């Protein structure tokens, strides 16, 4: 465990430091530091990620901008949540940012590595959560592009949450592929074959489905499925298991070099997965075979995979949420050659989404820099003023310049039968302990509350404050959203994974 860092050293000059009490530093990396902390107003445990010198390299700063924007727009129980971003002391000169996440204890890589007794019930429930998250992400026309066990956070109650959207992209019909894929550097072991050699001219959400299949196989066996040493070795390992691609698949490849390579490859017969994994549930193997099909058109969508017989008694596809496509204006910056100051202003604007009053003042300011594209913040400017009742008057004074969502939104209707993992603090324990989950077939569908609103992606807003009712194509972090029926499956299954001390490799967030 990394030694505790002095409070002042962690927060430097940020004025909101008194909102949080640092408990311990749990990770360090080239990006900066991650600390476990407690919100002094709510008592909630959080993880604070301090990102140092983010504007030293424009490409890295752009990646951070992309991630915090996507995590604001994609709100789902299986995606890590940004709770707050601290306001920088100086708009035009800040170098560090502090992002407050919900606290997660470890990642899936650590769970797989330290627990050799994961049960078929764990495998099923883990895969279900990942596919449920992918259904939501893909419904927004977003590809994650870097799914791997280290980018999936885990808690003691078996909750998984996808994180690290720095390489993710929102897909738009008119987006040139050169812009869309220029910096693709995802981990090779989980990379779909069409990404190994530019095999296909148009990529699809199937690239994420392949990654999920590789992760699922690793959960089952405890070892990576295709640990290639380089691109050629990666393709050899893939074809050793799946066999040589069909002639039809090879003919559809537009890259001449890749087509010649596969055509000249010695013919290989596929190895039955039941032979490679003799002790695995046949239903699980049939789904795995679909997830890692060589040809992307043969892989199921996340929604189709959730309907697989493997999830009988667990998944209700119609109840799993979807969302609207993200507006291309949110990511217009991807088409531009940004300067350091451009990215700084865009990140500052994004931070203000978590500071409603400061955002209002910023939008009224005469000295603001003109942006190269209309931000989502502009789209709800008038609604903000109208709902606040402040048109033509001095803005109402609040006790705090920046308020977390719980305090901005006021009262939230609560279901006493619902256990919301986002508001619970899970206490870490010194060593791994696994409890056998109930078989998912024992779960009666009548016990599970239906989330009819969630099925259509229409999250029910259950707040009394008018500030919660801001409407915009850009989802504001200041909205207060109550989702019915959330987490009931995890609670019903009563899983228990108790993990080791927090890893010191920065895998929290």
What 3-state DSSP class applies to 48? Answer: strand
Token digits of residue 201: 């001219």
Q: Locate 123 and state its tokens.
A: 């495998």
Residue 50, annotated ligand binder? yes
- Name 154's bridge partners: 106, 160
Q: Which of 292, 299, 295 shows the shortest CA–CA distance to 276?
A: 292
The number of helix segments (H) and strand segments (E) in the chain equals 20, 12
**In the block, residue with structure tokens 């050899």:** 236
Quick one: how far is CA 300 from the chain centroid?
21
* Residues in the chain, overall count: 509
Tokens of 68: 């915090």
Other CB atoms within 10 A of residue 6 CB: 8
* Active site members: 146
- 32-39: strand order across its sheet: 20-29, 32-39, 45-51, 97-102, 82-85
Q: 503, 106 in Cβ contact below 8 A?
A: yes
- Counting Cα atoms < 13 Å in the Cβ hemisphere of 117 gives 10
| Contact criterion met (CB below 8 Å) for 320 and 135 | yes
- What residues contact residue 393 under an 8 Å CB cut-off, 6+ apart? none
Q: At what angle do helices 58-73 and 340-351 cross, to 10 degrees?
A: 20
Q: Angle, to 10 degrees, between the axis of helix 282-291 and the axis of helix 206-221?
A: 150
Neighbours of 28 (CB within 10 A): 16
Nearest to 332 by CA among 275, 374, 299: 374
Binding-site sequence positions: 50
Binding-site sequence positions for ATP: 50
């Amino acid at each position: 465990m990394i030694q505790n860092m002095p409070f002042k050293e962690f927060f430097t000059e940020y004025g909101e430091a008194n909102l949080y009490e640092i408990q311990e530093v749990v990770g360090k990396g080239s990006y900066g530091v991650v600390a476990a902390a407690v919100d002094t107003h709510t008592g909630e445990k959080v993880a604070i990620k301090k990102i140092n010198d983010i504007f030293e390299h424009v490409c890295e700063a752009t990646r951070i901008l992309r991630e915090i924007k996507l995590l604001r727009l994609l709100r789902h129980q299986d995606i890590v949540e940004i709770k707050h971003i601290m306001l920088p002391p100086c708009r035009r000169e800040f170098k560090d940012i502090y992002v407050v996440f919900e606290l997660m204890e470890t990642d899936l890589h650590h769970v797989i590595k330290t627990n050799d007794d994961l049960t078929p019930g764990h495998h099923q429930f883990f895969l279900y959560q990942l596919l449920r998250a992918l259904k939501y992400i893909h419904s927004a026309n977003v590809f994650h592009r870097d799914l791997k066990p280290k980018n999936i956070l885990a808690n003691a109650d078996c909750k998984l949450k996808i994180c690290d959207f720095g390489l993710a992209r929102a897909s738009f019909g008119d987006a040139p592929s050169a812009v869309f894929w220029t910096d693709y550097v995802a981990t090779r072991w989980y990379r779909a074959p069409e990404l190994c050699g530019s095999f296909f001219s148009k990529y699809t959400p199937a690239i994420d489905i392949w990654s999920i299949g590789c992760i699922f196989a690793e959960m089952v066996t405890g070892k990576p499925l295709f640990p290639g040493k380089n691109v050629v070795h990666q393709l050899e390992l893939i074809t050793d298991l799946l066999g040589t691609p069909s002639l039809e698949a090879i003919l559809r490849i537009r890259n001449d070099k890749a087509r010649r390579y596969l055509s000249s490859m010695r013919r290989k017969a596929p190895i039955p997965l039941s032979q490679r994994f003799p002790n695995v549930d046949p239903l699980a193997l049939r789904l795995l075979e679909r997830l890692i099909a060589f040809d992307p058109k043969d892989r199921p969508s996340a929604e189709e995979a959730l309907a697989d017989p493997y999830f009988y008694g667990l998944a209700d596809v119609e109840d799993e949420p979807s969302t609207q496509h993200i507006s291309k204006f949110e990511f217009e910056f991807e088409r531009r050659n940004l300067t350091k100051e451009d990215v700084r202003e865009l990140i500052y604007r994004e931070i203000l989404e978590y500071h409603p009053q400061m955002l209002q003042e910023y939008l009224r300011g005469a000295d603001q820099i003109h942006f190269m594209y209309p931000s989502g913040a502009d789209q709800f400017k008038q609604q903000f003023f109208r709902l606040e009742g402040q048109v033509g008057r001095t803005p109402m004074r609040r006790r705090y310049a920046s308020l977390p969502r719980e305090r901005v939104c006021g009262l939230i209707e609560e279901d006493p039968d619902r256990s919301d993992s986002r508001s619970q603090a899970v206490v870490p324990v010194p060593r791994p302990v696994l409890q056998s989950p109930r078989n998912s077939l024992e779960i009666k569908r009548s016990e599970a509350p239906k989330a009819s609103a969630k099925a259509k992606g229409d999250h029910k807003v259950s707040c009394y404050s008018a500030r919660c009712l801001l409407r915009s194509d850009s989802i504001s972090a200041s909205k207060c959203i109550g989702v019915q029926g959330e987490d009931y499956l995890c609670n019903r299954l009563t899983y228990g994974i108790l993990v080791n001390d927090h890893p010191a490799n920065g895998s929290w967030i």
